[in-house]
Structure 1
Amino acid sequence: MVIRTRDTVRTSDVGEARGALARTHNVTELTVDGGGGSFRFEETVVASERLSLESTSCTGTVSGTVRTGADVVVTWFKSGRGTIGEHRAPIGRPILFHRDDEPFRWISFQQDTLRIDRDVVQKAAAERGGWAPHPLAFKPYHVPEGATLAAWWLMIRTVAAEILEGPAEVTPERDEELTVIAAAGLLTAIPHWPAGERNASPAKARLARAEAFMLEHTTEQLTVQQIAVAAGMSVRGLQSAFQRTHEATPLEYLKRIRLQMAQHLLTEGDADTVADVARQVGLPHLGRFASAYHAEFGERPSQTLRTARGSR
């Protein structure tokens, strides 16, 4: 069995916070500045050997140089300010550590970090791209939008739910399956190619072609037959591939992508009506949209929109 360890640190002591960060992250030149006021730090880490999820909040300033080593490391800020290298980390968008030694500075922040075994990511990329397993280059500091961002958040919700709420012991097979799901979500969100090449080329694997077709035509009324033809697969083969990789049928996966896009539009608070958002994401039947949205997120879309407008 694979053991998922869980470690939580809550402290108002700068030195204790620094020690916790030093244990969690492979960081050189690590500094933690409490800012002279009331200092609070909290970090929860749930990890297996292949996959870990870290949630950190800090009222001070943390800086240093991260060494990614054997993992691909991607982070996203919920609040605060941060830079990775010379690039500002956007709120609510994943940003990848691209170099093995990358400087960072995070100020009064809430942030989550996902670490994925690099070998698993490279193997998944090779299967999707139709090349031999090879070190990867990623588009520097790419910020996904639209359907690819929705695919990222769908993966995070799937992975986080199991890591945070699932059992502490899982089979090696399930640990590998979840790591592959995480890798697939990352590779969908961030353009990549074998190191040494100049830029990304279209993925050759049939499943990757199916995913790309769906993300390019997310708001259109697609059928599973159309997706299969675009990917060069049989309907049965397409269904099996999606079940293995996304634990959903192609149309279930597509609907969840649309719902993620809808949630993003609603939480921005700029939408005129829920019906407008439903049409924008390709779910024009308002009653069905509202029911599916409630099943996915636990609240009605009108409530999400009201909350967003109120917070603004």
Structure 2
Amino acid sequence: MGQFGLLRDEDRAFQRLDPLEETTLTGARRTVGGALSDHELAVAGNAPLAMELRTASVGALPLVLLHYGAPVSIQPRKMPGHFLFQVILGGCLRVEGPGGVFVAGEGQAVVLDELAGRRLHWSADSRQLIMRIPRAAVLKAVGTDSGPIRFDRAFALHDADTGTLELVRYIMTQATSPMAGGHGSAILDLLVRHLLLHHSDFRDRHAPLPASIRRAEAYMRLRLSDPMTLPELTGAVQTTARTLSGNFQRFRGVSPMARFRDMRLDAVHEALKSGTAESVTEAATDFGFFHLGRFSSAYKRRFGESPKQTHLAAARPAAPTPCNNAAAG
């Protein structure tokens, strides 16, 4: 059973909560529908169902940890009253809808709304943490005249630009603490603002990046294989170190050089995941990491696994699952 490495401790604490268990379609549909939303449920083939559902809340924000134990297809019915923020802790989720097909895998998340007409496919090993967000909380944050909000399709939790992983970790920790009910709507409001500003088109409408950040990141992308200093970067984008550092802290949550390191780590991750690198050492040194011990530690903090694990996984042929059949009918 998959378990997203960067949330493993929080996941284990959540699993100590008493589960609701069902082995029949009718029972599973009734239990999940009561916690989330009404839906149709079907199991692929003759796989036995072994549903486990755990619930908690942090103030006004309800959470559900759900695992079906079998490959299932879900046809949600209309849910006008809320959004679902779904964090993939294991396996994958495949979403079919009017806008096409996309897949969220382990360590990614999606925000789903207006689910009528969509079909969701869970892999047998898929485990998801689902947070139910009232639509009223989103409308309160954006205003009634902002127009429809479109959330990003599938996004990585561990992207250092956003801090989404840290927020999810905090919410999971609070959900299993004795003070879980003492937050009122504060955590819900924090989550809504975070998703809007980092994972929706509201971000582009209301929080454009300063030109200095755009220029700096464009320069970084051209120099991922080369050494770089902060004075060099500030000279290239024609601003001061104080201004550039302040903008990065405000809009990215990290310093300019930490952002450069993360972009390099992302490039190594892509090279290992795609199989274009012959070895971990080659991928690391191609993007400026020559102290392999420090590189490996930074890589594991960012991606929840060692670079060797990423490289080995890319070399193994993938078994047919909803995760690697995104284009299937």
Give the TM-score band, short-chain normalised: 0.5 to 0.7
- Within the alignment, does 1:79 sit opposite 2:92 as a pair? yes
5+ unaligned residues in a row in structure 2: which ranges?
A: 1-13, 319-329
Which of 18, 26, 34 does residue 15 from structure 1 map onto? 26
Pairing 1:36-115 to 2, within 5 Å after superposition: 36-49=46-59, 51=61, 53-58=63-68, 59=70, 60-71=72-83, 73=85, 78-79=91-92, 81-85=94-98, 87-92=100-105, 94-99=109-114, 102-109=116-123, 110=126, 112=128, 113-115=130-132
Are the aligned partners of 1:26 and 1:68 in contact in 2 as well (CA < 8 Å)? no
Specify the alignment match of 2:10 in structure 1.
Answer: none
Which residue does the alignment assign to 2:280?
Answer: 274
Relative contact order higher in (CA < 8 Å, ≥ 6 apart)? 2
1:17-72 CA distances to partner (integer Å, 9 max, x unpaired)?
A: 11221122233xx2223454422223344432454554433323322224152446
Equivalent residues, number: 283
Relative to 1, partners in 2 of residues 1:80 and 1:90: Cα closer, same or farther, differing over 3 Å?
A: closer
* Alignment partner of 1:158 is 2:166: yes
- d(CA) in 2 for partners of 1:85 and 1:234? 44
* Matching residue of 1:289: 295
Matched with 1:32 is 41
How many angstroms apart in 2 are the aligned matches of 1:20 and 1:123? Answer: 30
Question: Could you tell me which residue of structure 1 aligns to residue 321 of structure 2?
Answer: none
TM-score by length of 1: 0.64
Q: Give the whole-Å Cα distance in 2 for the aligned partners of 1:211 and 1:184.
A: 20
Partner AA of 1:42 in structure 2: E
Rounded Cα–Cα distance in structure 2 between residues aligned with 1:205 and 1:133: 24
C-alpha distance after superposition, 1:201-228 (max 9, x if no partner) = 573476xx67766665664457498499
1:8 deviates by 3.5
With over 3 angstroms needed to count, the CA separation of the structure-2 counterparts of 1:279 and 1:119, relative to structure 1, is farther
Query: In proportion to residue count, which structure has more strand?
Result: 1
Out of 180, 186, 194, the residue aligned to residue 184 of structure 1 is 194
The separation in 1 between residues aligned to 2:20 and 2:316, in whole angstroms, is 33
Deviation of 1:257 (Å): 5.7
Whole-angstrom CA distance in 2 between matches of 1:215 and 1:190: 21
Distance 2:173 2:166 in 1: 11
Distance 2:163 2:29 in 1: 30
Distance across 2 between alignment mates of 1:13 and 1:78: 21
4+ aligned runs moved over 6 Å, structure 1 = 227-233
Contact 1:50 1:117 in 2 (8 A): no
Give TM-score, length-normalised by structure 2.
0.61
TM-fit CA distance, 1:304:
2.8
1:196 equivalent in structure 2: none
**Secondary structure of the corresponding residue to residue 62 of structure 1:** strand
Q: Give the percent of matched residue pairs that are identical in Structure 1 and Structure 2.
A: 16
CA contact (8 A) 1:136 1:192 kept: no
> Residue type matched to 1:164 in 2?
M
Equivalent-residue separation in structure 2 for 1:283 and 1:228 (angstroms): 21
Distance in structure 2 (CA, Å) of the matches to 1:255 and 1:293: 10
Q: Which amino acid aligns with 1:161?
A: R
Computing the radius of gyration over CA atoms, which structure comes out larger, 1 or 2? 2
Equivalent residue letter for 2:36: H
Compute the RMSD of aligned alpha carbons.
4.7
